[in-house]
Amino acid sequence: MAPQIQADARWVSVDAATRKAYVLSGKDRECALLSWIAQGKDRETHEEFSAAARALGISDAWESPEAPDFLAHYRLLNLDYPFLDYSVETSHEADRALMDGYAANGAPPPVATPRPGPSTDLPEAPLPTGPRRVPDVALLASWLAAAGRITGRRQGRHGPIVIKSSPSGGARHPTDLGVALDDGWPAPLRGSWWYDGDRHTLIRAEAGFPVTAPLPPSGAAFIVSSHVERAMWRYRDVRAFRPVLIDAGHVLETLDLALQATGWSTAWLPMPSFVGSDPILGLLLATPEPAHVAAGPPPAPETRPTVPDTEYRTNPLLSLIPRADGLYAEVHSERQGLAKLTPHTVTALAYANPSTRGDRPSRPAEIRENSGASPAEVEELVAARALLPADEAMRLWERSRPWIESSWFPSLLVHAEAAGEAQTKKHRTTTSAALTSPVPWSRLPAALAARRTHRAFSELPLTRGSLDTLLRILATVRSEVRLSLLHPNHVLETGTYQRTDGGWARVGPAPTPDEIQRAAIGQPWTAGISAVAWLVPRVTEPGSVSWQSALIQCGRDAQRIALGLATDPSCGVFQSPALVEHLLEPLTGLGTVHDGAYLVGVGRTRATSPDAGAHGGDASEH
């Protein structure tokens, strides 16, 4: 579907390989090209349509009867996404002009998500420095403050820039936290809440949360969500969803460490869903009992009775897939397979698309009259959830609006696919019990307070202690990692290394500082670093849930590194997801990396201004 495309069109074709999009004619009438594709492999030869299909980048799909993988298409769409080169001064000027244009059309979203509902102020409570297993409000307040509180702010060009214990691309800080508490907690705290990190308050989630898991006795379930509009205001391209997932990993790791530091056991359960326009990424389950935290089975799919004679609208979470035998609709939020389309049902979907004037009648009889579809064909579209009752569909369209307006629509479909997958497939929990803490638990509060994103390095080798700490933490990360050392030291010579069971194996020479800067889109902050940990999101299982989890894990691992080094005054850390994929292979020997890498640069610090050292704000730009 082509949301917000005007004129005589309802559909858009995107060629991920060339990153080109084409509007296909056919609005309230037949789209001739799609009708021809829907006729399948026995279609008559048509030179003009064949040429159009090749131009659209879809003709290769006809060589196989198998459906293309939308996630693979999406990852290809992101590959080597064009960035401004920040080694060129005019790029900074162009970026400022772009942001000024955004600001002229509307202020950025508030730094905390406005939510309705009664609120409860939380006390000022420092994170305990030892086990604290009795559930109370002070303990809850200390966890939430450690992971999500706004601890400071300064005025930026387009509004406040906030400071938190976890870094965020462009200082957008989209990650939100919620919590569900069981009967083991004091009565006023029981139930579901959102955390407001600006006011340090709980806001009652009166409708509860759309994802649930059995809570362990006296336990808690922390919901990790992202208020994507904060990131969308700054980054209006399809690539920008990946840093949002990495940002969530930063916050998740901080919260997990805070829980463990107080003697609680934890497990991360990826459980994608939505709350309004915002993606929910999963639950962090916690219990005071020193035991493995197991998640229950996935929620049973909802039963949705059809209403035969009502207004219908097209589901916005839908795309079309050309195959050798015809054209198929994929409803990304569902897990019931593809729906084969005919020329008439393609027109039916276009006809039932919401009208900007609200004047298009779309009961089944009216859809049939205006598309030529048979009663059975319309029933099949309803059964596949490609057509939804109008009220439900319009709620989905409203929820999709921010993603559509910010050019994040393919990202919306990927998360919807993950949410659909989570309805039927139980995903493994990830526990943290076997991992070594990046810092002694007693020093975690100091590490959180000292956490900084550094932007000025001395070009000197890391101290022996800093390098030993870095190597120790890298031995605990779950992402695939390459380590580039730009200076010789007491453990390893200069070079790029791969982690192995026995230590580190050299796989190539060290990149030069100029090569690192070029790979990092020219960002000046990379100058002077002494070591680079390249964290690579490797998808371990098929599906969008595993893909999202791999990026979240990169954020978790990067936060472990940063916190482990935070209290070392000689050492600083800079992080960036903004990298040029095709430059990574020669630098790291990683091969093709469709999801890029997360650069964690480590170096000796030198004197910086207060603004340059503000923690929680990652200055990486798109």
Question: Using one digit for the tens of pLDDT, what is the confidence trace for 418-431?
Answer: 999 988 877 777 88
Strands 480-485 and 531-536, by their bridges, are antiparallel
Question: % helix / strand / coil in the chain, to the nearest 5?
Answer: 35, 20, 45
CA-closest candidate to residue 324, choices 561, 116, 61? 61
Q: Which of 391, 396, 387, 393 is nearest to 339 (CA)?
A: 387
Architecture of domain 444-613: 3-Layer(aba) Sandwich (3.40)
Task: Please give the pLDDT value at position 493.
Answer: 95
- The per-residue pLDDT for 206 is 84
Residue 597 to residue 495: CA distance in whole angstroms: 18
Tokens 């290394």 correspond to 497
CATH 3.40.109.10 spans which residues of the chain?
A: 110-297+427-431, 444-613
Q: Does the model's pTM come out above 0.75?
A: yes
Helix, strand or coil, per DSSP, at residue 515: helix
Rounded to whole angstroms, how far apart are CA atoms 72 and 69?
5
Eight-state DSSP code of residue 538? -
Q: Please name which of 159, 288, 188, 170 lies closest in space to residue 240, comparing C-alpha atoms.
A: 170
Fold of 110-297+427-431: NADH Oxidase (3.40.109)
Task: Give the pLDDT of residue 43.
Answer: 87
Distance CA 612, CA 164 (A): 15
| Run of H or E including 94 | helix 89-104
Of the chain, the percentage scoring pLDDT greater than 70 comes to 91
pLDDT at 64: 65
Residues of the chain falling short of pLDDT 70: 1-9, 27-28, 60-67, 290-308, 358, 434, 607-622
Residues 599, 534 contacting (CB under 8 angstroms): yes
The half-sphere exposure of 106 on its side-chain side, counting CA atoms within 13 A, is 8
For residue 325, which phi and psi values (nearest 5 degrees)?
-100, 10
330-343 in b/e form (b: 16+ CB < 10 A) is bbbbbeeeebbbbb
pLDDT of residue 28: 66
* Ranges assigned E (strand) in 288-386: 312-314, 318-323, 326-331, 339-341
Residue 536 near residue 480, CB atoms below 8 Å: yes
